[in-house]
Amino acid sequence: MTQRLHLVFGGELVDPGRTVFRDVDNIHIVGMFPDYASAHEAWKAEAQRTVDNAHMRYFIAHIHRLRDEESEAGPTEELGA
């Protein structure tokens, strides 16, 4: 079975209409999750916790998409070549 890792993270944005963080040193890393369902639950909890701050946003990053397991070298490995 293929593992599909997801990272949940967030922080305060410069402008609620864009996805530029105000301070990248203070990005909140919620955690890494083994599937989308558990990542979505974590995302939802953080989004609800910070609902009163219009500049706070949380995201789900599909970490498994960074690497193509079907090819010899994934895109991340090719960057250093």
The domain limits of the chain are: 6-79
Question: pTM of the predicted model, to two decimals?
Answer: 0.77
HSE on the CB side for 64, CA within 13 Å? 13
Is pLDDT of 4 > 90?
no
What's the one-letter identity of residue 34?
A: P
Provide the token pair at 59: 């995201």
Please, what is the Cα angle at 20 between 15 and 22, to 5 degrees? 75
Q: What CATH number does domain 6-79 carry, 3.40.50.300, 3.40.50.280, 3.30.70.2400, 3.40.640.10?
A: 3.30.70.2400
Query: Given this model, what pLDDT does residue 33 score?
Result: 96
DSSP 34: S
Give the 3-state secondary structure of residue 80: coil
The predicted model gives 48-54 an average pLDDT of 94
Is pLDDT of 13 > 70?
yes
3-state helix, strand, coil in the chain (%, to 5): 30, 25, 40
